[in-house]
A and B are shown apart, each in its own frame.
Chain A
Amino acid sequence: MLRSMINGAVAMGWLACALFFLRFWKQSRERLFAFFSLSFVMLAANSVAAALMDAQDERRYYLYLARLVAFLIILYAIWDKNRAARNGGG
């Protein structure tokens, strides 16, 4: 019960962060923010799935795979931003 509640709170938090980054992206049109937003939406979905899933469920493994993808999106976003800066872009 407590676990589900905290997972829900974490999901809400990630979604709020995603919305902030979505707003930054709308204001600045910088791709980095869009990638951040996407990654945080994935983490939010991840927490919702974790809250709904039983602790012994074999499919829990896929949760961590999704989490890994979210982190890889952030890494790609940073790489993409650095590359743009090197090429003289924004």
Chain B
Amino acid sequence: MAEAVYILCALTSVACAVLLLRGWKRSQSRLLLWSGLCFVGMAVSNVLLFVDLVILPTTIDLYMPRLLATLASVAVLLYGLIWDAS
């Protein structure tokens, strides 16, 4: 069950990223670009989550890379919101 949730997290974040970036290509709205990039980072984080908890043995811990990917996503979105979107 947990594995299914990890896979769905990865798939939904990839879907969010694709839809937001497609929206950006269509409308050229910068807000959509930054949101899309944020979700690209979240997708990386969630793919790492699956790799870490399901594929790799428990001796290898990818918690820190996952956390840093999430931090980078937030930073990208905040940067966009503060400097670009309004």
Contact = CB atoms under 8 A, between A and B. Distances in A.
B5 A3 contact: no
A55 B74 CA distance: 22
Interface in A1-46: 3, 6-7, 9-10, 13-14, 16-17, 20, 36
In this complex, the member of A6, A9, A71, A74 whose beta carbon has the largest number of chain B beta carbons within 10 angstroms is: A71
A10 B74 contact: yes
Given A17-B78, A75-B15, A78-B23, A6 B35 contact: no
Interface string B67-86: 11011001101100100010
Identify whether the interface residues of B are mostly helix, strand, loop, or mixed: helix
A13 B74 contact: yes
Contacts of A55: 63
- Size class of the contact patch on chain B: 20 to 34
A84 interface: no
A72 B12 contact: yes
Interface of A: 3, 6-7, 9-10, 13-14, 16-17, 20, 36, 47, 55, 61, 64-65, 67-68, 71-72, 74-75, 78
23 contacts: A3-B63, A3-B64, A6-B67, A6-B71, A9-B74, A10-B67, A13-B77, A13-B78, A14-B74, A17-B74, A61-B5, A64-B2, A64-B5, A67-B46, A68-B8, A68-B9, A71-B13, A72-B12, A75-B15, A75-B19, A78-B16, A78-B19, A78-B20
